[in-house]
């Protein structure tokens, strides 16, 4: 029963759990239930990945309506990998959340918060799992609408305009995507991605398909916050409640990157996207400008959550850079960075959540001497930070290794140089925090703070450890990513 309906359960479980949370009253029951659901979702995604690795692509016909007419859930290595990332981050964040949410969210809104959290999880998983283009739009909006609400729950009043701006930009992005899907439907008469990929062959030269391609690219570029469409991101991540920053930073842009990869390489196909349309020279410059400028801006941020948000914009640049090179190595780098960055940013934002829990601020001046008071939390931050820089033995190194390798393969030496240069900028912004945290004395008259509670430390440290584990053994990250890249580019392993 579970095996048969595995794919649909992945989305239905958090989707159904979301309204149930609203019916629960006691806070312990709400968090316990959310924790249970999110870990069950994680387990399901691991089962899906195991089956995909065994049997190849899985397909599920929604309501027994056979595709391409009915909605199809279709999972290959690429989205199985994304599902594991999203549900895994969801599970760890849910584990971390109770104490932090208790502090940052008004108690009356407790149930609503967790309902939105599960809805956002369901939406993100839905985007990744579905094989139907219109379905992608619906899930995109489910996850986006719930994340607007989650962001607006931040204690700082600036969270409200940030959520509003995200709403405007996100809706424009999603509507652009909708226009693109409509134009594809007009030319092919199908909404199923695999089916559209076949039927598009006959009509690829038409201007309608060109317009569709443009609308989808720009729409999703807004959603992934590709430079220069990233303006909504820093405030949204910076002023959201801590656990929301961690969850959204690690998942929502990642699934949108997945949608881009899916449309470029499965629906439109390599020859059209990267051959005729020369997408590489559209994405590559934007990715590089994004990497360098966002890293530079990050150096000058005094609010560490905003610093991490700008660093996210830069890291998204790396993923897009990998995609734009469109070689097996480049795509492997892009996909594996999608996963690795999720882990790193999850750990970093959770560490900030723990610091906010004890200190009540994540401003750099308030972090003075924090390394002595909260050694484990600060160590977690340092491990995540080392990952951002790309130090060997961390996941960041693996991603950058593949990206630099891909740039060299394509003969773009200056791109490889810029990747290394931007790593140096990352050293600068991570070092600022390290310096303040370890080498400065706590300000006079500040209350003594102690280490974060164990319930926060365990999920946070686990994520940080994972960034080291996957920095050493790469079979399950880079290995899977490489197989996915080969499948997408149609090159046998």
Q: Which residues bind another protein (CB under 8 A)?
A: 134, 137-138, 141, 145, 148-149, 152, 157-158, 160-161, 163-164, 167-168, 171-172, 175, 178-179, 182, 185-186, 191
* DSSP reduced 3-state for 472: helix
Which of 52/187 has CB closer to another protein?
187
In angstroms, the Cα distances linking 35 to 16, 32, 96, 147, 361 are 14, 5, 10, 19, 26
Least distance from C-beta 137 to another protein, angstroms? Answer: 8
Decide the pairing of beta strands 58-61 and 72-75.
Answer: antiparallel
Cβ proximity to another protein: between 25 and 157 the closer is 157
| Coil vs helix vs strand at 76 | coil
The least distance separating another protein from the CB of residue 160, rounded to whole angstroms, comes to 5
| CB nearer to another protein: pick between 239 and 402 | 239
Q: Within a 13 Å sphere around the CA of 448, how many CA atoms are in the beta-carbon half? A: 2
CB of 216 to another protein, least distance (A): 13
Q: What are phi and psi of 73, to 5 degrees?
A: -100, 125
Minimum distance of another protein from residue 257's CB (angstroms) = 22
Of 140 and 478, which CB lies nearer to another protein in the complex structure? 140
3 state SS for 292-349: HHHHHHHHCCCEHHHHHHHHHHHHHHHHHHHHHHCCHHHHHHHHHHHHHHHHHHHHHH
Query: Which CB atom, from 145 or from 407, has the smaller least distance to another protein?
Result: 145
Tell the smallest beta-carbon distance from residue 448 to another protein (Å): 28
- By the 10 Å C-beta count (0-12 exposed, 13-18 middle, 19+ buried), 450 is classed as exposed
CA distance 255 to 134: 16
CB-wise, 112 or 270, nearer to another protein? 112
Minimum distance from residue 254 beta carbon to another protein (Å): 22
Residue 453 is classified by DSSP as P
Q: For 360-491, where are the alpha helices, taking DSSP H only?
A: 370-373, 375-389, 395-409, 413-439, 454-472, 480-488
Give the whole-angstrom CA distance, residue 420 versus residue 339.
20
489: buried, middle or exposed (CB in 10 Å: 19+, 13-18, 0-12)?
Answer: middle
Between 170 and 290, whose beta carbon lies closer to another protein?
A: 170
Tell me whether residue 39 or residue 164 sits nearer to another protein (CB atom).
164
Contact call for residues 442 and 368 (beta carbons, < 8 A): yes
Question: In the numeric block, which tokens belong to residue 78?
Answer: 């690429």
Q: How far is the CB of 185 from another protein (least distance, A)?
A: 7
Q: How far is the CB of 70 from another protein (least distance, A)?
A: 12
Collapsing DSSP to helix, strand or coil, 223 comes out as: helix
Structure tokens at 477: 């990250």
Distance CA 11, CA 90 (A): 13
**Taking the CA atoms of the chain, what radius of gyration do you get in angstroms?**
21
Nearer to another protein, 161 or 285 (CB): 161
Handedness of CA 370, 339, 312, 244 (dihedral sign): negative
Q: In whole angstroms, how close is the CB of 235 to another protein at the nearest point? A: 9
Cis peptide before 68 (omega within 30 of 0): yes
Which residue number, 178 or 362, has a Cβ lying nearer to another protein?
A: 178
Nearer Cβ to another protein, position 170 or 334? Answer: 170
Residue whose CB is less far from another protein, 148 or 356:
148
DSSP secondary structure letter of residue 255: H
Contacts of 191 (CB under 8 A, 6+ apart): 68, 132, 133, 134, 135, 181, 185
Q: How far is the CB of 228 from another protein (least distance, A)?
A: 15
């Amino acid at each position: 029963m579970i095996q048969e309906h595995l794919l649909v359960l992945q989305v239905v479980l958090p989707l159904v759990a979301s309204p149930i949370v609203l019916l629960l009253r006691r806070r312990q029951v709400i968090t316990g239930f959310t924790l249970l659901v999110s870990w069950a979702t994680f387990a399901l995604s691991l089962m899906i990945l195991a089956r995909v690795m065994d049997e190849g692509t899985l397909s599920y016909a929604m309501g027994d309506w056979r595709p391409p007419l009915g909605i199809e859930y279709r999972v290959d290595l690429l989205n199985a990998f994304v599902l594991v990332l999203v549900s895994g981050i969801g599970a760890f964040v849910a584990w971390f959340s109770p104490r932090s949410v208790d502090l940052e969210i008004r108690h009356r809104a407790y149930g609503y918060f967790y309902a939105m959290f599960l809805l956002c999880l369901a939406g993100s998983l839905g985007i990744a799992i579905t094989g139907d283009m219109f379905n992608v739009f619906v899930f995109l909006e489910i996850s986006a609408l719930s994340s607007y609400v989650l962001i607006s729950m931040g204690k700082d009043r600036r969270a409200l305009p940030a959520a509003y701006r995200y709403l405007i930009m996100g809706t424009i992005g999603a509507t652009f995507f909708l226009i693109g899907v409509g134009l594809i439907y007009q030319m092919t008469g199908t909404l199923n991605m695999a089916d559209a990929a076949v039927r598009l062959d006959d009509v690829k030269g038409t201007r309608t398909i060109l317009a569709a391609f443009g609308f989808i690219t720009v729409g999703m570029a807004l959603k992934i916050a590709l430079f220069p469409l990233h303006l909504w991101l820093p405030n949204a991540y910076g002023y959201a409640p801590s656990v929301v920053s961690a969850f959204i930073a690690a998942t929502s842009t990642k699934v949108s990157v997945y949608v881009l990869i899916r449309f470029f390489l499965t629906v439109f196909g390599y020859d059209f996207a990267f051959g005729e349309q020369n997408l590489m020279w559209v994405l590559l410059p934007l990715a590089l400008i994004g990497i360098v400028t966002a890293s530079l801006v990050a150096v000058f941020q005094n609010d560490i959550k905003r610093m991490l948000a700008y660093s996210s914009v830069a890291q998204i640049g790396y993923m897009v850079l990998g995609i734009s090179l469109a070689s097996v190595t480049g795509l492997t780098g892009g996909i594996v960075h999608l996963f690795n960055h999720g882990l790193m940013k999850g750990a970093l934002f959770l560490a900030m959540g723990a610091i906010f829990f004890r200190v009540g601020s994540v401003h750099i001046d308030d972090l003075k001497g924090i390394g002595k008071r909260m050694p484990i939390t600060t160590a977690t931050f340092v491990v995540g930070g080392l990952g951002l820089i790309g130090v060997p033995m961390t996941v960041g190194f693996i991603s950058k290794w593949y990206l630099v390798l891909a740039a060299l393969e394509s003969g773009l030496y200056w791109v490889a140089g810029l990747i290394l240069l931007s790593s140096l900028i990352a050293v600068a912004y991570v070092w600022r925090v390290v310096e303040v945290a370890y080498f400065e004395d706590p300000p006079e008259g500040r209350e003594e703070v102690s280490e974060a509670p164990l319930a926060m430390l365990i999920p946070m440290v686990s994520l940080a450890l994972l960034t080291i584990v996957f920095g050493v053994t790469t079979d399950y990250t880079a290995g899977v990513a490489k197989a996915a890249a080969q499948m997408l580019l149609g090159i046998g392993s």
